[in-house]
Every structure is written in structure tokens, then in C-alpha cells.
Amino acid sequence: MIDFKKEIARIVSEKVESLNQEDVEALIEIPPNYDMGDYAMPCFKLAKTFRKAPNLIAQEIAESLDGKEYFEKIENVGPYVNFFIDRKVLARTVLEEIFSKKENYGSSNMGNGKNIVIDFSSPNIAKPFHVGHLRSTVIGNSLYKIYEFLGYNCIGINHLGDWGTQFGKLITAYKKWGNKEEIEKEPIKTLLKLYVKFHDEAELNPELEEEGRRWFKKLEDGDEEARKLWNWFVDLSLKEFNKIYDLLKVKFDYFTGESFYNDKMDRIIELLKEKNLLKESKGAYVVDLEEFNMPPCLVLKSDGATLYPTRDITAAIYRKETFNFEKALYVTDYSQSLHFAQWFKVIELMGFEWADKLEHVPFGRVSTEEGRMQTRKGNVILLEELLNKAIDKVREIIEEKNPNLENKDEVARQVGIGAVIFNDLSNNKIKDIVFNWDRMLSFDGETGPYVQYTHARANSVLNKRKYDITNDVDYSILTNQEAVDVIRLLQLFPEAIVNAMEKNEPSIITRHIVDIAQAFNKFYHECPIIVEDENIQKARLLLVFAVKTVLKTGLGLLGIDAPDKM
Ligand code: ARG
């Protein structure tokens, strides 16, 4: 594909001796609308070197470039040189590229096979999988796909919350009030109830806390009964979590939770001691971070028990040694930002020069119409119910609009789940979001169903075609504004993916494919595709094919399926 940015850099640097290609490339911008060209080069920064007003520089450059290949016109407006790509060249370049690469259009090997560790989802055993975990799952899964598409090797880790004093409490509660059958029937709800009861009772009877601690100690020491119960809690919880992962079609390379690092922590504590980083504070051990304006990082409790940060520090070192990652991402909501900043600093203080490869990817909170979910009180909406509700609502819509659709159940899943994921990835991830069923499931508006529907529509047009899809078409047929608007967005798709990767921001792709879908629907209404004229039909079919292909790729990068019919 002609890289028009590079082409501009080449022709400008050819004419202007004192500018090299990289300098020019760095100056080039994409203007907010087409009246200002497809690309623009502002000349403010050149005023010093040229000892001339930017307007004058722009004027001279524009004049010297008159009549260049690939460009319809190159003109100057004020301090800018604006470049307008020849519409026919644009159409041919972009559509030939998509036609030959198909679903790989936009992929690259810029990652060179380097390892990216993505720590995401990571729910807690015996606790509900809440909407925050859903966001982490959805964002992490999308990042996984984006990095892979760009040639990185991803390692997805589910850092389950499967260790800590709460398991001592849960064992205590189970032994006192638990009922095996009830738990097997509704594991998470029942275990949560036990946990809540423990806290209520412990307020009246502090002795319980002591008992909880004793059970956790036993668990840490490998006591058989404690281990057996803990294993049972883990198995039951994973069964529940897996139902959600199955609905979402999300996979992990490792389910190595916090407990995985139990036998790896001594070495790290020793290392911290050797480096003189541990400080005693009220019987506990901390790493002092006052110098960096942060509260101390708690590493060991007074009874010798390790904590959440201890396990994260240990896990990071293990992951570096095992995967030699280029980057390690941690996807959680922003309430954990301090936690990550603290222990990232500890890694740095330990002298690991790779500390700057650790990256927290924070996102905003989620609320539902039912209000923010609270795990402590026990009145939780389980996430599986929420996902199934989305699927049911879509099934109702299908029954109404397209009752004869084959494969209704699977399409309802794809669209219902797609709607939830899309909603989650629609805005900048740091923004708080609200679940609004009607908005999320609507077939028009900036939603998953809208983009999926546009994809299915493109597919159905292709099925009505009378000629083969080929790239041997008359590209001048694709130079009207509606076509150009679509083609231009298709051209910028690969850049959007790289952008999304660099910012760890899948919403860049979400927005881009919404734009493509909107532009395509305009084209579709203005330009009939299945027409008598062979040349027109063939040219337009190629565009439809390109849109279908790119929408599918884009949805795929978000972790959303694209059904051919809906
Ligand atoms: N289990 C934690 C929670 O539910 C999230 C863990 C995130 N990953 C990590 N390495 N700390 O809040």
C-alpha cells in the first residue's frame, strides 16, 4: 500500500534541501476535515531555519510541488501545505491492499515476537465475579488480540485472588454454619453469605477472628483438612467463572493465582532484606516510600503472613524470569492505582532495571441501573445473570424482527455478548460507565449490534451479487464523496490499531469501526450496489467486500463475533 505520509515526506525533502524525510514526516498531520486535505504540513516550526514567515514557506513549498504524482492538488492555506490524494489512486491503493490481505489487513510484525504479559480478569475465589472483573476481562482480552495482531506474543494470566486471611475466615465459617449441599447448589452466593455471616458474628465475638487466623496459618502450613476445603472452594468458584469465560469466549494461558507464588516468596523477602529495603513498623515489615510521596508498601504482617503486594512483587519477578517480557500489563480499575505505583517502585528500588516495563492499565468504575454492586452486603447481581439477560433481550428482538433466522441461539449470544463488550469498550477506558440496557442493545446508535448489523448487511449484499469479487475494477467509479469517505476510513484503520496498542486503548478501534459503519451506511443508501451495469456493480462490490472484511477484523480485535446473518 502506498504510504502517503512517506510519499509526502519524500517529495518535500526532495524539493527542500535542508529538510530530511524524517523531519517532514514528524510534521505531517491529519486535518479534522477534508476541505483541508487528507494530510497537512504546518510550517510554523520551519520559520526559524528558513528565516521566513510560515505563510511564505508554505506557499513556496506548495508551488514547487505542483503536479506531483498521486496528488490531485497540493495547495497552501495560510501557514499550511495541504495535500489532497488523487481519489482514484486512494481507492486503488486501499482496496487492492484489503483485497489481497483480507482479514490480515492492518496486521503487522512490528512486535517481532516479543513477549507481552497481560494480567487480567483476576476475580477472587469464593466471591462474586463483578462488573469490574468483567471490564478487566474485556479490556485485557482485547489488548491481547491487538498486540497479537501486531506481531507480539501474548501471555494471558488470570491472577486469581485465591490466597489471604479471608480463606481462614471462610473455613471457620464453613465449619461452624456451612452446608455442603447448599454450597454445591449455589456456590458463590452461599460462600459469600458465610463470609458475611462471619463478619457479623465476629463483631459480637472477637474470638472468631483469632480462629480465622489459626485456620489460615494451618492452610499456609499445608494442613490436610484446610487444604481440602480450600481446594474445594477454588474448584467451585472456577466452575462458575468458567461459565462466564465460555459466554465471553475468553481464554487464558495461565490460571496462576496468588497462591502460585507461595513457595517463591521467601527468596524475595530475603532479597528485600539484603538490599536493606525492609523496615520494621509496629511489628510488621514495610518498604518506606515517603521519599516518593507514597504510603509505605506493606510486605509482611507481624505474624509473618504475606500480603497482596508481596505476592505481586514475587509474581512480577517470576514472570520476568520466565517470560522475559517486553511489557507486563495489569488491567484493573483505577482504585488500585496506588497499589501498583507502590510496588512498581519497590521493584525499581530492588535494582531491577526492567521496572519501567511494568504498566498499570487502569479503567473506570461501572454502575448498573440497579446501582453499584456491593459484595460485602450480599445483595449482588451475579454477572452471569447480567450476561444472560443481554442474550435474552437480543433473542426477543430476533423473534420479533427475523423469526426465521437459522442458528438463533448462537446469534443471540454473539449479539447480546457483543453489545456488552462493545459498550464496555466504547469510551476512553478511564471513564466511569453506566449499564443502560436499551442504549446498549439498540440496533442504531453507536453500539455493537449496529456494527454487527452493518457487517451482516454488507454480507447479504455480497450474497446477491451477479459477478465475482475482483480487484480488477474501474476505480474512478469509487471517487464520489460517499465512497471516498468510506475508503479514507479504511485507509486509516491500520493506524488506529497501532494507536490503540500504544495507548492500551481498545476504544480507538471501537470508534473507528463505528465511523466506518456509519460512512458505509450512507454509501449504501446513496449508491445502489446490485445494478445492471457490470462495471459499477463490480467496483461497488469490492468496496462492500472491503468494509465487511475490516468490520469483522475490527470486531474481532475487540473480542466480538461478527455473524454473517442476523
Ligand atoms: N483479585 C484482584 C481484585 O479482584 C485483582 C488482581 C489484579 N492483578 C494483580 N496482579 N494484582 O481486585
Q: Which domains does the chain have, with CATH numbers?
A: 4-85 (3.30.1360.70)
pLDDT at 379: 46
pLDDT tens track for 190-201: 999 999 999 999
Relative to beta strand 80-85, strand 71-77 is antiparallel
pLDDT tens track for 32-80: 888 899 999 999 999 988 899 999 999 999 999 988 899 999 999 999 9
What gap in Å lies between CA 460 and CA 149, rounded to an integer? Answer: 27
- 356 pLDDT higher than 80: yes
What gap in Å lies between CA 105 and CA 490, rounded to an integer? Answer: 10
Mutate to test the pocket of ligand 1, among 118, 120, 122, 130 (most ligand atoms within 8 A of CB): 122
pLDDT at 66: 83
pLDDT tens track for 393-432: 999 999 999 999 999 999 999 999 999 999 999 989 999 8
Helix (H, G, I), strand (E, B) or coil at 192: helix
pLDDT at 376: 41
pLDDT at 369: 61
Q: What is the ipTM of this complex?
A: 0.99
Using H for helix, E for strand and C for coil, what is the string for 274-326? HCCCEEEECCEEEECCHHHCCCCEEEECCCCCECHHHHHHHHHHHHHHHHCCC
Q: How far is CA 242 from CA 234, 245, 246, in A?
A: 12, 5, 6
pLDDT tens track for 95-146: 999 999 999 999 999 999 999 999 999 999 999 898 899 999 999 999 999 9
What gap in Å lies between CA 94 and CA 106, rounded to an integer? Answer: 11
Is there a catalytic annotation at residue 339? no
Contacts of 9 (CB under 8 A, 6+ apart): 21, 22, 24, 25, 28
Handedness of CA 327, 331, 337, 338 (dihedral sign): negative
Task: List the 284-287 sheet strands across, edge first.
Answer: 278-281, 284-287, 297-300
pTM for the complete prediction? 0.94
pLDDT at 370: 56
- 368 pLDDT higher than 80: no
Which residues approach ligand 1 with their CB closer than 6 A?
119, 122-124, 159, 161, 312, 330, 332
* Percent of the chain residues topping a pLDDT of 90: 86
What gap in Å lies between CA 513 and CA 558, rounded to an integer? Answer: 11
Helices 448-463 + 507-526 axis angle, to 10: 40
Mutate to test the pocket of ligand 1, among 332, 360, 380, 383 (most ligand atoms within 8 A of CB): 332
* Percent of the chain residues topping a pLDDT of 70: 97
pLDDT tens track for 141-193: 999 999 999 999 999 999 999 999 899 999 999 999 999 999 999 999 899 99
pLDDT at 373: 45
Residue 177 Cα to ligand 1 midpoint, Å, equals: 29
pLDDT at 451: 98
Average pLDDT over residues 250-275: 96
The residue nearest atom 11 of ligand 1, judged by CA position, is 312
pLDDT tens track for 504-537: 999 999 999 999 999 999 999 999 999 999 999 9
Is there a catalytic annotation at residue 130? yes
pLDDT tens track for 537-557: 999 999 999 999 999 999 999
Closest CA to 46 of 60, 65, 31, 66: 60
Q: Give the chain's mean pLDDT.
A: 94
Helix (H, G, I), strand (E, B) or coil at 16: coil
Average pLDDT over residues 202-206: 93
